[in-house]
Structure 1
Amino acid sequence: MFTIFLGLTPFIFITFLGFVFGKLKVLDLSHAKILNLFLFYIAVPALIIKLIAQNEIGQVDFKQIFSYLIMQSICGIIAYLITSKYFKRSIPESIIWALTVALSNHVTLLLPITEIYFQQNVITQVASIILMDGIILLSIIAFFLELSTKQNVNLFKFIKNLFLNPFILSIIIGLLFLLLNLNIDQTPIEYTLSKLAACVSPVGLFAIGIILSFYTKNVINKLSVSISVLKLVISPIILLLIGLVIFNAGLPAEIPGAFFVSVAPCGVTSIVLCAAYNVSPENIIKAIFVSTIASIGTIFFAIKYLTL
């Protein structure tokens, strides 16, 4: 038990370090923005290319992928309804809240933890969910945001911008490596991608810590707690029910990769969309903070249960 907690402490410490630097005014939100831009345009795309180029398609468990996708859709709709109807948020903000719940912080936090505690089959499922989120979820959310903020959506321009999105572009490049059967193992390409991919977790967690240090007032409120409960408690329950009803796989051990992602905190990609669509990130940051702290318990439980 102590060993598991000890393994999680570096992730907690890096976030806390960013928080301290923010509180001391050594770094501010502009610095966090630069770090996030580095992740968005360089480090995360490098990680995605590496995941796809070295992925074993035959090992992907599609029952986990489909179960997780259905759960994401349901929880995203619930988050949209809660924030728009009960908390009276605008349509663009409510759509971003839906993404905040539907996505997990799987790239920055969960994937490196998975690589520490689990075998390759679980890592493959987690990586597959990350790729699915990049292709399907971000595309859908981007479309609805365009639809809600602009009277006339130019479909051609939207598709063009979508394919130029760093996440989508990196997926296409990774698929080309895979389809052309290009082996990048032990090459300068793999070395470069590996070094950039290694930056994702520490840089991302440090940036989160900086941002959180500027939004510490009234962190625990009805909205942040409601979203955190939906993300960390209701989401895995819905996932297990879907797995049971559709795939006769209603135990966490039967869908370990999907279950492990479902207990992760809210996704931080929503912060980038807040800037793009003029939505205040304050409450979203608070929900990310509350769910991140609470997820120490859910991740700890999931590791202990799945590695028995």
Structure 2
Amino acid sequence: MIVVTAASGQLGRLVVQELLKSVPAAEIVAGVRSPEKAKDLAGTGVQVRELDYTKPETIQAALAGVKKLLLISSNAVGSRAAEHKNVIDAAKKVGVELIAYTSILHADTTPMILAQEHKETEAMIKASGLPYVFLRNGWYTENYTANIAPVLQHGAVLGSAKDGKFSLAARADYAAAAAKVLTLDNQAGKIYELAGDVAYTLADYAAEIAKQTGKTIVYSDMPEADYAKVLVSVGLPEGFASVLADCDTGASKGALFEDSKTLSKLIGRATTPIAESIKAAL
């Protein structure tokens, strides 16, 4: 059996949907924090089990009979590593045969603060002795298109990435890659640097929105500290705002650029163009 953690989340649901294309539903376990909120997943025939990163007692039970585990990184920035450790410890106890982890692009070399907990998690997985595969995901296009409304309202994309290139891919592309790896043999020890086929600057992103809407949309670049203040002003916690602004600075230094096309080779198709993602968001 294959278990997908955080299966009711945005990425997890897509992975389950991809797995259902080639794996019998009864062999898929959707690990979720709140089973009552995953009735739609249960309706597909997959097993829905409670799996809460902060409750170790739920994790071991959820992994019973599981051979392969997809550990989707927690969204609790700052406490991710501790939550991931709970899953890794449980996986070791039940004897999971392969643990796949959604890490971050160039986790071992990137200067971004956001990567620290991913590095810690990769180290814990290696130290556990479990067979592993790391899916080092680049930036999701949805990181931007999910917030397209204020861009349209103010006529500007804000950031501190200068002319740094982002090798963006849609969340569905990364989900397809995860599902593919979980269904392939001989994956232990592999590390995939996953990113979109085409790289874009934030100015490119702004220009594409302008093209599709006929509105004047510009990219306004600002110092990292000023961008962080803007993020705080729209409601983000100060610490998280600083992390996101640091990511932009990292991108300006090439941290989110990757041209190996490993992702498209793995899924057997081109990654989703940014124009398509913007069209869907609009």
How high is the TM-score relative to the length of structure 1? 0.24
Greater strand percent: which structure?
Answer: 2
Higher relative contact order (CA 8 A, sep 6+): 1
Greater helix percent: which structure?
Answer: 1
How high is the TM-score relative to the length of structure 2? 0.26
